[in-house]
Every structure is written in structure tokens, then in C-alpha cells.
Amino acid sequence: SAVISQKPSRDICQRGTSLTIQCQVDSQVTMMFWYRQQPGQSLTLIATANQGSEATYESGFVIDKFPISRPNLTFSTLTVSNMSPEDSSIYLCSVEQASANTGELFFGEGSRLTVL
């Protein structure tokens, strides 16, 4: 199983600022996913980050708001730009292990952002 570390685990941010969340995996993986979990709700996929290519964003999410980097097979970042209180949420990084090919996802512990 993959072990995923996310930083920061939580932060309180001011409106209009940007914050970058880091995701480090202990093994090489092809696909990394970024999810958002708003209070009391389930997970919503923001984008899929593939190494060496642009991230693929889901409907309702755009690159200008959520730029993603994927410099190698073990690391990715998600930036939440120009934050508003509506961006207060838990952001989760997840991976699907290439060898498993079963769709099983491993998740980081999440980054809880509060925007004032």
C-alpha cells in the first residue's frame, strides 16, 4: 500500500491569498488525484495530475483557481488561489497504485483549510 504525506495538515488563511498544498508518495505512481471535501459532504474530484502533462480538471474546476504541478512520479502540489471563505474545505491527495490496477485509492490525511 502507498503511504501519502500531505502538508500542511491544516491552515487558516486570509481572503484573497493563495496556499500551496504538497503531496508526497512513498512510491512511484502514474496517476495522482486531488479531491475536495467540504464540511459534512463527500469527496469531489478536482483534477487528475499526470507526470509530464497538464492536469485534467473536472467540471466546475479551473486551472487558474487550482493550479497543479506534478514534477515527478512521487510528488504533486495543489494551489488554492485567491481564496474566499467558500474554499474552506479539506483537500485530499490520493493515488491509485499502478501495479494494483484495481481502482483502489490510497488517501493522504488531508489538508484542512479555513479561509477567513
Partner 1 sequence: SQKIEQNSEALNIQEGKTATLTCNYTNYSPAYLQWYRQDPGRGPVFLLLIRENEKEKRKERLKVTFDTTLKQSLFHITASQPADSATYLCALDTNAGKSTFGDGTTLTVKP
Q: How far is the CB of 102 from partner 1 (least distance, A)?
A: 6
The Cα 49–Cα 23 span in angstroms is 11
By three-state DSSP, how is residue 20 classified?
strand
Residues β-bridged to residue 79: 20
Q: Toward partner 1, which CB reaches closer, 44 or 69?
A: 44
Contacts (Cβ under 8 Å, ≥6 apart) of 71: 51
Which residue in the block uniquely carries the three cell numbers 479561509?
Answer: 115
In order of 73, 99, 110, the CA distances from 21 in angstroms are 17, 26, 9
Asked whether position 73 contacts partner 1 by CB under 8 A, the answer is no
Q: How far is the CB of 112 from partner 1 (least distance, A)?
A: 8
In this chain, which stretch among 16-24, 44-52, 60-68, 78-86 interacts with partner 1, using CB under 8 A? 44-52
In this chain, which stretch among 14-22, 63-71, 78-86, 89-97 interacts with partner 1, using CB under 8 A? 89-97
Contact residues toward partner 1 (CB under 8 A) are 4, 31, 33, 41-45, 48, 92, 94, 96, 102-110, 112
